[in-house]
């Protein structure tokens, strides 16, 4: 007597790996889409070394893709960028009446304006990048050099002054 036909095929493994690389599916969603149970997925992952290796490769490719997207987004925030905005103004024009003598209107494009807008570089992203790329120069001190030194601060509010001691 023959057993049940296996669902484990190279095509199914490729389909699973493509979904992991796309990073738009959870494991339960992937299992549902390819017609296997969550338990089957984990059993294959634990028992089939080729499946486990394929998953690792797919996850690595997905991580690289995410890093590329993040790097490109960070670059845009660092440099600033331009984009085109198009605004369309429509006006309802009376074109006649229906059989019940109600007015019939048609939306007509009256005006279209195209504007190029500029997004300035992000100060926060610049600071983040400088601190992370050159910690010695731009990084924050973890502990003050002279932690025993007393600093006297003087605040002015209009005609009133306030002295505050900080240690």
Using the predicted structure, report yes or no on whether residue 115 has a pLDDT greater than 80. Answer: yes
C-alpha–C-alpha distance, residues 130 and 78, integer Å: 11
Q: What is the pLDDT of residues 50-107, one digit of tens each?
A: 999 999 999 999 999 999 999 999 999 999 999 999 998 888 888 899 999 999 998 8
pLDDT at position 164: 47
Q: Are 113 and 158 in contact (CB under 8 A)?
A: no
Q: Is residue 89 part of a domain?
A: yes
Using the predicted structure, report yes or no on whether residue 23 has a pLDDT greater than 60. Answer: yes
pLDDT at position 134: 74
Query: Can you give the residue range of the structural domain that contains 111?
Result: 81-119
Sign of CA dihedral 41, 45, 51, 53: positive
Total domains in the fold of the chain: 2
Whether 70 and 87 share a structural domain: no
pTM of the predicted structure, to 2 decimals: 0.55
């Amino acid at each position: 007597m023959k057993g049940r036909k296996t669902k484990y095929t190279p095509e199914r493994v490729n389909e699973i790996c493509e979904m992991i690389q796309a990073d738009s599916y959870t494991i339960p969603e992937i299992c549902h889409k390819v017609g296997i149970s969550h338990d089957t997925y984990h059993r294959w992952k634990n028992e089939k070394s080729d499946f486990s290796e394929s998953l690792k490769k797919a996850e690595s490719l997905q991580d690289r893709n995410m890093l590329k997207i993040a790097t490109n987004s960070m670059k845009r925030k660092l440099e600033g960028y331009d984009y085109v905005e198009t605004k369309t103004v429509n006006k309802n024009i009376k074109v006649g009446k229906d059989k019940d003598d109600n007015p019939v209107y048609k939306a007509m494009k009256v005006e279209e304006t195209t504007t190029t807008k500029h997004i300035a570089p992000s100060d926060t992203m610049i600071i983040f990048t400088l601190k992370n790329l050159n910690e010695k120069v731009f990084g924050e001190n973890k502990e003050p050099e002279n932690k025993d030194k007393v600093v006297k601060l003087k605040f002015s509010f209009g005609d009133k002054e306030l002295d505050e001691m900080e240690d």
